[in-house]
Chains A and B, each alone.
Chain A
Amino acid sequence: MKEKNCSGKLLENYLNSFSHIYIEKEILGHEVTEQILKRLPKAQRVLINNYRDIFNRPRQNYIIQKRSQKLILAKKKFDFIYPGSGLCENFGEEHFYYSSSIMNCFYECEYCYLQGMYPSGNIVIFVNLEDYFSAVDELTRDKKIYLCLSYESDLLAFENLTGFTGRWIHYARNNANVLVEIRTKSANFNAVADKEIPRNVIFAWTLSPQEVIQNYEAGAPSLEARLNSIRQAIAKGLKVRLSLEPLIMIDDLETVYKNFIHSIFAVIPPEGIRDVNIGVFRMSREHMKRISKLKKNSKVFAYEMNCVDGNVSYKQEREMKQIVYNEVIKYLEKDKVY
């Protein structure tokens, strides 16, 4: 189900996502382009000159477009790597960067900051991953960097279409100066399970209580499915990161989150966990205004918020974090909890 408030009859009217693929003429024939087109043979193909002609059109409706997302295949020409945001946890890493080879996601999380960040709800895949690797080569010539790859999409969720996660794993094996993080809500570890994954690749799963997933993370895999994927990664010898964010206000919050933490550690061995970060939902006030305008019935913003230094969060932000922190440290050493 794509939108809870939309009746079944209305959703039936919409074309399936990826019904259309818009392709920059320049990357016709590129290996990744061909691979994606082969996997989606029935999609209507529309040739374009520049992805911005369609992605940056004025007056697009993100919410309506999400009901039938289109793929846009393009070539990234500059800005392959960005400095990390102050709103994101850097886990003590000095040189923190992020990179986006895919823009937008096919999950529909109510709280997601991607809403309102781009002018379009469609998905752009930059097929020229080799140019990203060159940019990282350049940046890591004289320093070690921490590079998050899956902030503006969910790289692993797209793996069957793009193969990008596998290629980043391969790249990281040959560049010891890069520590990459691949964050996901997917249950798709299977797609890379046969790869030799080096220690400088961190898989990070964003987890939420099933009650939050049901109410706020439409289209995303269940908690159980994500935990199964994590177990698979740990069984392969990986130490995974758990990202318990954003913590979301929900009825009976304390019980829900305590049960949630318990259910994680009931199936995940603590020695398989590299670290955990905990963060309450927060967002810049300006961005929140944009999303509220897009989604007038958003549950996220139906609770009382506080604004500190231009960033909004729940009034009970500190208490929420404390509840979860206290529960996590029952299972993990404090120095592993951020």
Chain B
Amino acid sequence: MTGDMGTVLLSHNYVTEEPSPCHLSIAKNERTTNMLYIATALYIEAKPVIEYFKLKRNNEDHYFQVFHNDIIALIITGVGKVNSAIGVSHILSQHTLKEEDCIVNIGICGAGTEDAGIGRAYLINKITDHETGRDFYPDVLMRHPFEEADIETYASPVTTESNLSAKLCDMESSGFYQAASKFFSPHQIYMIKIVSDRLEGERLKEDFILELIHNNLEAIDKFLAVIAESFQKEEILQADERRMIAGVIQGLRLTEAQKNQLVKACENYKIRKDKTNSVNVLDFLKEYENLRVKTKDEGKKLFRQIIGKLSE
């Protein structure tokens, strides 16, 4: 955001359409259970996103407006870098975060140069906090359909381009990035900014902002689908192997230390045999899966036998 909302100066018609097929849902359903977090400054920036992804309001959150579905949690933080940082910290500290999760800031911004066309979406590759002079760099690792730009974050609305050091400006990015980077790695943090004005100081019409976001949603969706599937970890042990090992652990009455040793030995065995995607390598464990020992000593003996085989 480059200024506050309210006065209507520009006239555009925003039409709510039937949402297109959601690329993100497809990508997520195919592969993962990881979450995507979205932060916007204003409800009006979030509205098209909420509709597109069919998010529902979380009425249990008493501090922020939060909307979610199975794969997305969206928070409306309020305007400004402090509010953005608070909102991001709030939503992220409420979830158990995974290495595959990502967070995206979607919002409008100002541009000091004419080559940044109104309505164009940019992926941010550098953020400068105007007040502190500090720079921040999200990783840009994935292919994307946007142009890239740097952005300068100000504590108050920018109405002149005289002291703008970056191509774009806003009031949230540095706060958003600093808060997000306490929880996430630089490759998990993204900012997509859509140019809404050239710092004329005019207040923007709600419909205009809705349209700006809406027009870029399909591209944003496709990009979110890419980042949702690109950081998946390859599990060494497959689900049925884990179940089989759990059966062995229970049947042989293994201690916590023995359990850890067995799992590590199974993983190393699979890696050595170079058949990470095969379920056959550990098949010999099936004969132990349903055994039920009567004493711990009996379990210990069988445990040593298994470890011996896994050391081959």
Q: Is the CB of B143 within 8 A of A14?
A: yes
Contacts of B231 in A (CB 8 A): 64
Q: Is the CB of B186 within 8 A of A60?
A: yes
New A-B pairs, 19, CB < 8 Å, besides A44-B148, A59-B185: A9-B229, A12-B143, A13-B230, A14-B142, A15-B141, A15-B142, A22-B137, A46-B126, A46-B150, A47-B126, A57-B137, A57-B186, A59-B184, A68-B141, A68-B142, A297-B234, A299-B274, A302-B269, A302-B271
Contacts of B142 in A (CB 8 A): 13-15, 68
A99 CB, min distance to chain B CBs, angstroms: 27
Q: Is the CB of B186 within 8 A of A298?
A: no
6 A-B pairs with the lowest CB-CB distances in the bound complex, closest first: A302-B271, A302-B268, A5-B234, A68-B141, A13-B230, A59-B185
B47 CB, min distance to chain A CBs, angstroms: 29
* A53 proximal to B (CB < 8 A): yes
Q: Is the CB of B140 within 8 A of A53?
A: no
A148 CB, min distance to chain B CBs, angstroms: 31
Q: Is the CB of B236 within 8 A of A19?
A: no
* B311 proximal to A (CB < 8 A): yes
Contacts of B143 in A (CB 8 A): 12-15
Contacts of A86 in B (CB 8 A): none
Contacts of A49 in B (CB 8 A): 135
Residue of B139, B232, B267 near A10 (CB, 8 A) is B232
Contacts of A303 in B (CB 8 A): 268, 272
**Contacts of B255-273 to chain A: CB distance below 8 A:** 267-269, 271-272
Interface size (B, Cβ < 8 Å)?
A: 32
Q: B139-159, CB under 8 A of A: which get 1 and which 0?
A: 111110000101000000000
**Contacts of A32-58 to chain B: CB distance below 8 A:** 44, 46-49, 53-54, 57-58
**Contacts of B129-187 to chain A: CB distance below 8 A:** 135, 137, 139-143, 148, 150, 181, 184-187
Identify the closest chain A residue to B148 (Cβ).
A44
Which of B125, B141, B311 counts the most A-chain CB atoms under 10 A from its CB? B141
Contacts of A6 in B (CB 8 A): 234
* B226 proximal to A (CB < 8 A): yes
* B65 proximal to A (CB < 8 A): no
Q: B115-136, CB under 8 A of A: which get 1 and which 0?
A: 0000000000110000000010
Q: Is the CB of A297 within 8 A of B276?
A: yes
Identify the closest chain B residue to A49 (Cβ).
B135
Contacts of A22 in B (CB 8 A): 137
Residues of A within 8 A of B (CB): 5-6, 9-10, 12-15, 19-20, 22, 44, 46-49, 53-54, 57-61, 64-65, 67-68, 215, 296-299, 301-304
Contacts of A44 in B (CB 8 A): 125, 140, 148
Q: Is the CB of B185 within 8 A of A5?
A: no
* Pairs A–B under 8 Å by Cβ, sample size 10: A12-B143, A15-B140, A15-B141, A44-B140, A46-B125, A46-B126, A47-B126, A57-B181, A59-B185, A301-B268
Q: B222-237, CB under 8 A of A: which get 1 and which 0?
A: 0000100111101010
Q: Is the CB of A60 within 8 A of B185?
A: yes
Q: Is the CB of A65 within 8 A of B234?
A: no
B171 CB, min distance to chain A CBs, angstroms: 22
Given A14-B230, A297-B236: A20 touches B140 (CB 8 Å cut-off): yes
Identify the closest chain B residue to A300 (Cβ).
B271
Contacts of A12 in B (CB 8 A): 143
Identify the closest chain A residue to B137 (Cβ).
A54
B291 CB, min distance to chain A CBs, angstroms: 26
Contacts of A215 in B (CB 8 A): 274
Q: How far is the CA of A303 from the CA of B274 in the complex (A)?
A: 13
Q: Is the CB of A19 within 8 A of B140?
A: yes
Contacts of B99 in A (CB 8 A): 61
Contacts of A54 in B (CB 8 A): 137
Identify the closest chain B residue to A3 (Cβ).
B234
Given A59-B181, A302-B268: A65 touches B125 (CB 8 Å cut-off): no
Residue of A13, A48, A65 near B135 (CB, 8 A) is A48
Identify the closest chain B residue to A20 (Cβ).
B140
Identify the closest chain B residue to A53 (Cβ).
B135
Q: Is the CB of A65 within 8 A of B271?
A: no
**Contacts of B211-254 to chain A: CB distance below 8 A:** 226, 229-232, 234, 236
Q: Is the CB of B150 within 8 A of A13?
A: no
A33 CB, min distance to chain B CBs, angstroms: 18
Q: How far is the CA of A60 from the CA of B272 in the complex (A)?
A: 28
Identify the closest chain A residue to B233 (Cβ).
A296
Contacts of A302 in B (CB 8 A): 267-269, 271-272
Q: How far is the CA of A68 from the CA of B187 in the complex (A)?
A: 11
Identify the closest chain B residue to A249 (Cβ).
B272
Q: Is the CB of B141 within 8 A of A53?
A: no
Q: Is the CB of A14 within 8 A of B181?
A: no
B124 CB, min distance to chain A CBs, angstroms: 11
